[in-house]
Amino acid sequence: MIAYLSGKIFEKDANSVIVQTGGVGYEVTIPLSTFYELGDVGTDAELRIYTYVREDSFQLFGFKTLQERELFLKLITVSGIGPKVAISMLSAIKADEIVAAIRTENLVLLTSIPGIGKKTAERLVIELRDKVAALSASAIAGGSGDIPPTGSTNEIYEDAISALVNLGYQRNAAEKALKKAIHDGTEMSVQKLLRRSLQLMAK
């Protein structure tokens, strides 16, 4: 079981990263919080890993901090929350905001996340309210490290659209939010456009 991975970033986008180590490239699904923290292609990366094994699949999920991995593990214990939905949750809002929403029974914020309906939000509160108490805002790295923009404007736009669609948003809604973010003068980098677009769609 893989629990930790370090190596060079071979390839990277908003939803996944390929980490090369020992001549092997491991594809790892990541939340946006981790994407913001990783460096450029060719730089070193260290990830805490959750290995998801099923009869027909073997998938790695990576996190920049142990605390985020622990929150992810708690989320997937709730009925209706699989690894993909848990990653979407960590991508849509910061980890400390998830913890706060669960502890304060903020169903409005929880149901604003793609894939989280009212019943699932209620289960999150009931099952995790006490369990996430140790994962305070100060304990979780919500990180917002800036990554230098790379690629052409069109590539950045398409990467951002792809990331939003993969998070569960409709393409039309994603395009509308992204165009609004650009119109507002948001810097043309994937992470900043994603962050602003997610803010707009959460309103």
Q: State the pLDDT at residue 60.
A: 94
Written as six digits, the tokens of 6 are: 């370090």
Within 13 Å of residue 174, how many CA atoms lie on the same side as its CB? 18
Residue 134 lies in a domain: no
Q: 159 or 46: whose pLDDT is higher?
A: 46
Lowest mean pLDDT: which of 113-117, 123-127, 140-144, 173-177?
140-144
Residue 46 lies in a domain: yes
Residue whose entry in the numeric block shows the structure tokens 């009869």: 55
Residue 168 lies in a domain: yes
Helix, coil or strand: residue 151: coil
Residue 123 lies in a domain: yes
Under 8 Å between Cβ of 115 and 76: no
Q: State the pLDDT at residue 145.
A: 36
Residue 79 lies in a domain: yes
Q: State the pLDDT at residue 174.
A: 83
Among 63, 79, 106, give the residue marking a domain's end. Answer: 63
Q: Are residues 22 and 73 in the same domain?
A: no
Q: 149 or 83: whose pLDDT is higher?
A: 83
Residue 147 lies in a domain: no
Q: State the pLDDT at residue 99.
A: 86
Average pLDDT estimate for 164-190: 80
Q: Are residues 78 and 124 in the same domain?
A: yes
Amino acid at the residue 18: I
CATH number at residue 46: 2.40.50.140
Among 63, 93, 109, give the residue marking a domain's end. Answer: 63
Alpha-carbon gap, residue 137 to 96, rounded angstroms: 5
Average pLDDT, the chain: 82
Instruction: Compute the chain's Rg from CA coordinates.
Output: 17
Q: State the pLDDT at residue 142.
A: 39
End-to-end CA distance of the chain: 40
State the Cα angle at 94 between 129 and 89, rounded to 5°: 70
Residue 133 lies in a domain: no
Q: Are residues 71 and 124 in the same domain?
A: yes
Domain that holds residue 54: 4-63
Task: Kindly report the number of other CB atoms within 10 A of residue 142's CB atom.
Answer: 18
Structural domains in the chain (count): 3
CATH number at residue 123: 1.10.150.20
Residue 141 lies in a domain: no
CATH number at residue 185: 1.10.8
Among 43, 63, 83, give the residue marking a domain's end. Answer: 63
